[in-house]
């Protein structure tokens, strides 16, 4: 795991709670960037999914539907994501 990933997990890992889901899941990732800039949605999946593994689901193979939605910039200029998980 890269230093950036370890720092991300250390900062946000305590906010992830719940028991792991055993079956297939659908994830919707709402991206609120720190400022308006051009970016690829798919670049923002890896770290959050790694953080959720073992917390919300046991293995990446359980993710049957993965969607990324670009949202308005964060007015606090910090940037954040919201992840919605649904069982299938």
Local confidence band at 85 (pLDDT 50, 70, 90 cut-offs) = confident
Local confidence band at 67 (pLDDT 50, 70, 90 cut-offs) = very high
**For residue 35, what are the CA distances in angstroms to 2, 45, 64, 70?**
24, 19, 30, 12
> Is the CB of residue 57 less than 8 Å from the CB of residue 63?
yes
Q: Read off the pLDDT of residues 2-59 as tens digits, 9 standing for 90 and up.
A: 776 677 666 665 555 565 668 898 999 998 888 888 888 888 888 888 877 777 888 8
pLDDT at res. 10: 67
**Domains of the chain in sequence order:** 3-12+24-87 (3.30.1330.70)
Q: How far apart are CA 63 and CA 23, in angstroms?
A: 9
> Is the CB of residue 49 less than 8 Å from the CB of residue 16?
no
């Amino acid at each position: 795991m890269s230093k950036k990933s370890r720092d991300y997990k250390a900062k946000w890992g305590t906010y992830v709670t719940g028991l792991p889901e055993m079956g297939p899941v659908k994830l919707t990732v709402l991206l609120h960037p720190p400022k308006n800039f051009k970016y690829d949605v798919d670049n923002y999946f890896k770290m959050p999914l790694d953080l959720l593994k073992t917390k919300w689901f046991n293995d990446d193979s359980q993710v049957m539907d993965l969607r990324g939605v670009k949202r308005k910039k964060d007015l606090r200029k910090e940037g954040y994501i919201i992840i919605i998980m649904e069982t299938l």
